[in-house]
Every structure is written in C-alpha cells, then in structure tokens.
Amino acid sequence: MHMVDFAPGTVWLVGAGPGDPELLTRKAARLIAAADVVFYDALVGAAIVDALAPAQERVSVGKRSGRHSRDQATIDAMIVAAARAGKRVVRLKGGDPAVFGRTEEELAACRAAGIRVMICPGVTAASAAAAGAGTALTLRGAARRLTLVTAHLMPGQDKGPDWAALADPETTLAIYMGRAAAASVSRGLIAAGRSPATPVLVVVNASLPGERMIRGRLSSLAFLVETVSDSEPTMLLIGEALAAPATAPDAARASRRSDDALAV
C-alpha cells in the first residue's frame, strides 16, 4: 500500500467529495486519519466530520454564500499557524479542492510562509449529481462539452457570465450553488439562444441521504427550485445529456447514427 507523505508541519488540501463518506478517496481517508488538526468547510459531509477521532482537533471554517464564519485571510493565517506549530494539517474542502475551492489563496499563503503544501483531489459535486441521477454529463453527438460554472459569478457581480458561450447547445452546464441564480440562468441562456425546452436536472444534497432530483426544462428552472431552501447545496445541470432516462437511450442511438453517417 502506498504510504501518504504527511510529515509534521505540512499541509494537505483534501477533497472531501460531495458528502457521502464512501466517496472519499482512499488517500483522502488516510490523510484525514493522520491529521492532528482538520479545518473543514460547511459543505463537508457531517458524517465525515463526525468520524474524526476524539484526539483530532477540528475547526469549522465553513463558508456559505453571503454568510462567512471567517474571511479567507483569517483561514489562511490559521492554517499557517497550525503548520508552524508542527502539526499535521488537513484543510478539508467539499468536492474537489481545484473546483471553486479558493485553493490558490491557501496554496499561496503556505508557500509564502515556507510551508510544504500538497493537494489531494476529490469527487466534485457535478459528478456525484449525475451519478445519483443515473445519467451522464456528456452525450456523444449531442453534448460534446462540459462547462463548470459557479453561481457566485452570476449577475450582480461586476463581471457577468458570457451567456453566448454558455448557450452553446452542445454544452452541458453544471452550475454550482445555483439555487439563487436559477431565474437569471434561465433568462440569460434563453435570451442568448438556448432552447427553452433544454432538459434541466436540479440536484439537491447530491450523494447525501436527503438527495432530491427535480427534472424539468430550462424555461421552468425558476419554478423548479422554489421548494429548495437557501441552506441546501444545489447543483443545476442543463443540457441534452440530462434528458429523462426513458428518452436518453433513443437520443444516444440517434446521435450514434448521426456520427456513423458523418464517418462514411
């Protein structure tokens, strides 16, 4: 078995996956078990935090949209201070640290302090949401691209999204933390030319016991999220690959015929 390199005074940024403890990688589980202190986000599954040993220090640095328990500079300083004290530090992040995880700031803070820092990837929420729905994020001949977007970059920011690029009909959109932006997403995509009938899948609490799937079409996206609370992690999946399972195989067969015809 490969042994994880985790010397005292070092930091690992660890992907906790979407919440289900069984979706932790084996490497992530070994790093968490070896840590002296674990700084964890609000989106880290409660069962993962509850499984920490009593002797392990656990520090919540959770951030939800608009409700930050600590600012990023404070989190950076806490990580650096723990490592300088000779502790094995795990910074546990929901999903994958490299996907909308504010990882670059923490890497930079550690490196500036001369602290060795490494990354352990995790299962990102878009993958877990599609898996829970029994569907794919791409579809040969119909959905050739996958674009990951965070709702934090939706309207209201200084720089809005490039709706024309996002409206490409061959692209599957995975919009993280998308509940509050649902109406803006629907309007922006349709105005940019995306069909109002484009399939949509709203996934709430992906991989967790309370996981919910809400299917519909782009024109009804704002309505689909009305029963979802602000506190529930919500993924919006948009595109032809998200057609209902009963019709998706037909679409796949049609795309295969189209590709075969082009290859002749």
For position 250, what pLDDT does the model report? 43
Q: Which residues are catalytic?
A: 41, 63
For position 258, what pLDDT does the model report? 31
Phi, psi of 83 (to 5 degrees): -65, -40
Alpha-carbon distance 113 to 158, whole Å? 32
Alpha-carbon distance 114 to 144, whole Å? 42
* Distant-in-sequence, close-in-space partners of 74: CB < 8 Å, separation ≥ 6: none
Low-confidence ranges of the chain (pLDDT < 50): 1, 154-155, 246-264
Percent of the chain with pLDDT over 90: 75
For position 153, what pLDDT does the model report? 52
Say if residues 221 and 181 touch (Cβ distance below 8 Å): no
For position 244, what pLDDT does the model report? 63
pLDDT digits (tens, 9 = 90+) for 200-250: 999 999 999 999 999 999 999 999 999 999 889 999 999 999 986 644 434
pTM (2 d.p.): 0.85
